[in-house]
Amino acid sequence: MRRRLQTLFQRKFKVSLLFLLLLALLVHLAMDLALPAARGPCGCDAKALKASGVPSGNLVLTGPKKLSLRILQDFSGSNGSLEKGSQLQGARPQARDGKLGVRHQHGEGNAGRTEGSKLAALFEHPLYNIPMPEVTEKDKLFVVNPMEKFSLRSSGSDEWEDGLRHLPYLAQIPRRHQPLRAVPPPGPPDAHPPPGLGHAEDRQLGQTRDQETPIDFFYFSDFERHNAEIAAFHLDRILDFRRIPPVSGRLVNITKEIRDITTDKKLAKTFFISPAGNVCFYGECSYYCSTEHALCGKPDRLEGSVAALLPDKTLAKRRSWRSPWRRSYHKSKKAEWELNPNYCAQVRETPPYDRGHRLLDLIDMTVLDFLMGNMDRHHYETFEKFGNDTFLLHLDNGRGFGTHSRDEPSILAPLRQCCSIKKSTYLRLQLLATQPYRLSDLLREALATDPLAPILTEPHLRALDRRLGKVLATVGRCLAGAARRDEVVVDDVGSRV
């Protein structure tokens, strides 16, 4: 009799437990179905939007699009960071109607900005909130999951690009991507990514912050600087190009995170203890891999930068293009563009620069390189899917910010020889030359949040303002010699401005 009661009790308990599980599942499904109805156009809680003072009619991103950042940028281990970052992206107001200039804009657009933050004020400026065309299915780069989509558009009208302006969890990158998988230079240690979504590159310390590249060094002998990669990412988004994947500083323990876990026996053999008692390694490669060019920790801690290189080529093929203004990479020979002042005329007749906005995109990249003093732009990459209707990826910026006391005018050769620049780029450069939005102040504020701050010394930041003046002066000379203004300042925004 007792056994029968025990069996009956067990059966009733199992049935009750199953019923509770089903009930919980039904409640969960009901909440998921009811959630979209309670949200506004941006996918945010309507009450939260009202409390924050952001009008729902001025939001650019819709709810489903917010999830698309996760596929390439969810470096955190919780959904909270994703939601915070998405709310910041979704709360960006559209540009107001009317003429845009470079004066400081007062009124509703600045109501929600962070007090005293020039960077927040910049991203609220109408020039940084130009309405973008709607992204269609053919504009989607790839789809991994129906609920998680990533799209890239030549005009820059996608969530990934917009999201690079506000990355509250960017500083978590160096803590979340562990362990590191060490490989020899020039492709230094990689961090493991989400499967199939690319990889993150770790570039290490090669030069201290206050050192300048010796004047006798050739550009191809310059150091690869981790702080240059970090600063280039922030400068790129301040210029509103948004062509550099997220980069953050990181302090690496080369003993625990490289030497002790590497499966590369050849790499493991290159580790040694220096006379100063520091752990060093130099890897295996065709050049600069020797004890004279080793990377050493203090005693085993080494600064580096982690850059997310996404998406993976298996999901979105990329093509590498030789820059028309590539240098000779020879000690005595010069490239054709250095000898022929009419070189741009040849470029304009050569595909893919003979149509579309490819040449203007390359000139944008030229402006970025001149501001940070990067002479090492020999190639660039694009996504194959969109053909010539795409944009350039500004990768490999480690040889920037090597000097601050001198500028390299030859970097501006594409702008000087072609005398063309996008209207949107020109207006933003003019804006960044004004006191409320001074470029050096903006980059200083952006870099202050990096784990390895300070990233740049003050002389490097002051050099940015000087170089920006030279870029504007070059455009001014082009305008002075042009028959028509629109031949120099090419309208790339149309009625959206």
Which residues 6+ apart lie within 8 Å of 279 measured at CB?
A: 254, 255, 259, 271, 273, 296, 297, 299, 300
Catalytic residue among 240, 361, 376, 492: 376
Structure tokens at 418: 């072609």
CA dihedral 101, 107, 113, 116 (to 10 degrees): 80
What CA–CA distance (Å, rounded) separates 206 from 225?
6
Q: What share of the chain is helix, strand, coil (3-state, %, to 5)?
A: 45, 10, 45
What CA–CA distance (Å, rounded) separates 376 from 497?
34
Instruction: Tell me how long the chain is.
Output: 497
Neighbours of 445 (CB within 10 A): 17
Q: Is 365 exposed, middle or buried (0-12, 13-18, 19+ CB in 10 A)?
A: buried
What secondary structure does DSSP assign to 87-122, as a single string? HHHHTPBPPPSS---SSPP-SGGGTTSPTT-HHHHH
Comparing CA positions, the residue from 250, 246, 230 lying closest to residue 175 is 250
Is 376 marked active-site?
yes
Structure tokens at 220: 């191809």
What is each CA distance from 99 to 105, 131, 155, 322, in whole angstroms?
Answer: 11, 13, 20, 38
List the 199-204 sheet strands across, edge first: 180-181, 190-191, 199-204, 301-309, 247-253
Structure tokens at 438: 């001074």
What CA–CA distance (Å, rounded) separates 415 from 344?
9
8 Å CB contact between 440 and 462: yes
List the catalytic residues: 376
